[in-house]
Amino acid sequence: MNPKIRIGRWTASLVLVAVGLLLLSDELRGREDMLLLVRWWPAVFILWGVEYIVMLLLFRRKRGSGRRFRVDFAGVLIASVLSASVFIVTQQNHYLHLWNRVSLDLTSSAIEFSEAEGNKFAKPSIDVPAALEMTGLSVEGINGDITVRRGFADRIRIRTSVWVDQAEPEEAKKIAEKTGIRVDEGKTLSVTTESQPYGSLGRRQPRVDLEILLPSQRSFDIDIRTNGGSVTLNGVQAIRSISVQTGGGNLDFANLGGNVVASTSRGAVRIDTVAGSVQAETQQGDIESSNVAGSLKLTTILGNITANGTIGDIAVDTRNGSIDVGGVNFGLSAQTLNGNIAVRSRFVRGDWSVYSAVGRIDLTLPAFGSYRMDGSNGYGDIRSELPFAIKDRTLTGTYGEGEFTVRADGNGDLNIYRSE
């Protein structure tokens, strides 16, 4: 009886070992190396092919061995299923983001949105008395930009513009007449878009742009939701919080007071001067932030992140893009799977964690303080203007008592510069 050699057992074993090492690295070093599986999973087929070639060459030299090869589909399948299960369990937040993006895309594909072109109709402005018991503003949109800014002293004014494209003027006028907003007063002022679908299939939505002017001396908690459209906030003060979510569009915030939570599926995010904490994310687009008085958390799947002048802790994360941080007052977490990272600070007053799977890391650090430097890279050069020890792709050193830790890991050049 001729023994059979199963091609794939070594590949399956290497896959399980690799997943285990990545998981262990994440737990011990607080990284997200498991996400490398999203990019490098095709390497399984390469390993499988290499294993077949090696086995073929190895046993071909042993003439008369009578061994036959058999592809071990079951072994590779079991290893793949186990690896996928580990990934799903440990990376729930990331694949839930992906699922939310797919859901929004499916919703958008079922609805057609009018663009800001063709027929435009300005609806009469609506004035609402700003009662003292009114403390909140809620806006529900379908398609269109939403702008909220400071305005009059004693009332709230709502301006509405309706766009109807791909329709004759007379038809567009009838659609615009049936399109507008519903306003419900109370402790929270509720503004809801009501639109008239049109088109051959009756699924095209007119575009309804809203501009809401708030009393300059009043504060309102704000909650804005729209399926599609950019959101602009300027000079708005909240009692506690501002929440914004759009299925697609840019976010532009300036001179805000209150804690901000905002997200967009596709679009850029710009934040300038916020007296409070900020948590913002986009699936596809760049994020720029400056002068945030509280903690800052920025996340994008595809895009660059820039953050300057943050008072609180900073956490920035992108899957495909570069990161630039200027001025770190307390803790810092900066991670990218594909891109360069540059961080500049005159002080180290908290723990830092900087990681780039593929890209250069540039850190500008003070030559004083109380911190410990711990850096490494898989490949590339390590250079330092500060008196840190460099040996075997690691960089270490301590200033003062080493109260805080600056950790930098990656697979690219690691450069340490002296801050002025």
Question: What angle do the packed helices 9-29 and 73-90 form, to 10 degrees?
Answer: 10
Cβ atoms of 352 and 369 within 8 Å: the answer is: no
Lowest mean pLDDT among 27-31, 172-176, 260-264, 367-371: 27-31
Assess whether pLDDT exceeds 80 at residue 54: no
Lowest mean pLDDT among 88-97, 199-208, 298-307: 88-97
DSSP for 247-285, please give it: SS--EEEEEEEEEEEEEEEES-EEEEEEES-EEEEEEES
Give CA–CA dist 142/208, Å, rounded: 8
Beta bridge partners of 238: none
- Name the pLDDT band for 48 (thresholds 50, 70, 90): confident
What's residue 64's pLDDT? 53
Q: What sign results for the dihedral spanned by CA atoms 169, 170, 175, 178?
A: positive
What's residue 29's pLDDT? 63
- Name the pLDDT band for 1 (thresholds 50, 70, 90): very low
- Give the tens place of pLDDT for each residue, 214-241: 998 899 999 999 989 999 999 999 999 9
What's residue 379's pLDDT? 86
Assess whether pLDDT exceeds 70 at residue 143: yes
- Name the pLDDT band for 338 (thresholds 50, 70, 90): very high
What's residue 278's pLDDT? 98
Tell me the pTM.
Answer: 0.75
Domain segments of the chain as ranges: 4-90, 113-226
Backbone angles phi, psi at 408, to 5 degrees: -135, 120
Distances in whole angstroms, Cα of residue 209 to Cα of each of 95, 119, 199: 33, 13, 20
Give the closest residue to 359 by CA, choosing from 333, 378, 387: 378
Percent of the chain topping pLDDT 70: 86
Instruction: State the first-to-last Cα distance of the chain, in angstroms, to the nearest integer.
Output: 77
- Give the tens place of pLDDT for each residue, 273-293: 999 999 999 999 999 999 999
Over range 326-352, report the average pLDDT.
96
What's residue 89's pLDDT? 67
Lowest mean pLDDT among 127-131, 267-271, 312-316: 127-131
Distances in whole angstroms, Cα of residue 230 to Cα of each of 12, 188, 257, 292: 47, 23, 20, 21
Over range 91-98, report the average pLDDT.
54
Assess whether pLDDT exceeds 70 at residue 325: yes
